[in-house]
């Protein structure tokens, strides 16, 4: 049985600025099995963010095909892609992206409301997600009242609350010190191993990438390396 959750075939991405065309991705072919923990590395301008945007259904490729859970999503409308994001993918960003005027529990509940889940069920699901990330007694706190590490845990709770099968983590430790960074990475690793969630991590830090099982390196819009257990493990 094919266990592939993500399949990219000859993906290309071109941006236009005035009369100048910039080829951000070139002939990307990639298979990611369900339950894998993958890191994407590369220098600034290598195509990491562009690839993450396509993988996360935030953008459509200029060429090629993208199969997500067996469905060709490369040609879907932006509304259709938004529906997939809401049901299948959880996002964790460097800047946490929590809404400051909402409490911790309300931030976690938000994607559930978009999914049409009722208030009582959403609250219960959000509380369960909060327990999973080991943050207690903060339900009614606001993001500016908790630490950066706690904010990132809340962001992870929001990413997993909808039982997303994939987490896209874009430089998730970029705003954290080393202790909190490794705390967050240990939690993501635990989520991958115990819950079988597929995790795709973008990072420029080797020690952070070492938590993943496969390490993909981009250069000038192309995959130049894909290694299993090639970095020092934690």
Give domain limits for the chain: 36-60+87-228
Q: What is the 3-class SS of 115-163, one letter each residue? A: CCCCHHHHHHHHHHHHHHCCCCCCCCCCHHHCCHHHHHHHHHHHHHCCC
Cα–Cα–Cα angle for 209, 213, 214, nearest 5°? 75
Predicted confidence band of residue 226 (pLDDT cuts 50, 70, 90)? confident
Q: Tell me the mean pLDDT in the region 141-170.
A: 91
Residue partners of 214: CB distance under 8 A and separation at least 6:
36, 37, 38, 39, 226, 227, 228
For residue range 25-72, list pLDDT tens digits in order. Answer: 999 999 999 999 999 999 988 999 999 999 999 999 999 999 999 999
CATH 3.90.1720.10 at 36-60+87-228, yes or no: no
> Does position 232 have pLDDT exceeding 60, yes or no?
no
Mean pLDDT for all residues in the chain: 90
pLDDT of residue 52: 94
132 vs 25, more confident:
25
3-state percent breakdown (helix, strand, coil) of the chain, nearest 5 = 35, 30, 35
Compute CA 141 distance to the chain's CA centroid, rounded to the nearest angstrom: 25
For residue range 107-126, list pLDDT tens digits in order. Answer: 999 988 888 888 899 999 99
């Amino acid at each position: 049985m094919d266990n592939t959750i993500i399949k990219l075939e000859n993906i290309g991405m071109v941006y236009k600025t005035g009369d100048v065309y910039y080829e951000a991705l070139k002939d990307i072919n990639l298979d990611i099995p369900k339950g894998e923990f993958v890191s994407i590395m590369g220098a600034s301008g290598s195509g990491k963010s562009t690839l993450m945007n396509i993988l996360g259904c935030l953008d459509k490729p200029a060429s090629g095909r993208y199969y997500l859970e067996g469905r060709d999503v490369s040609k879907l409308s932006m509304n259709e892609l938004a529906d997939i994001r809401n049901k299948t993918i959880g996002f964790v960003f460097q800047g946490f992206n929590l809404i400051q005027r909402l409490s911790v529990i309300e931030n976690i509940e938000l994607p559930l409301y978009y999914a049409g889940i009722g208030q009582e069920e959403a609250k219960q699901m959000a509380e369960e997600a909060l327990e999973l990330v080991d943050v207690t007694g903060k339900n009614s706190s606001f993001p500016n009242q908790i630490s950066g590490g706690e904010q990132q845990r809340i962001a992870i709770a929001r990413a997993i609350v909808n039982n997303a099968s994939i987490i896209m983590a874009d430089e998730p430790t970029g705003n954290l010190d080393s202790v909190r960074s490794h705390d967050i990475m240990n939690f993501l690793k635990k989520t991958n191993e115990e819950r079988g969630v597929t995790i795709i991590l973008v990072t420029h830090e080797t020690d952070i990438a070492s938590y993943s099982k496969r390490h993909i390196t981009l250069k000038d819009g192309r995959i130049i390396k894909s290694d299993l257990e090639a970095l020092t493990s934690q």
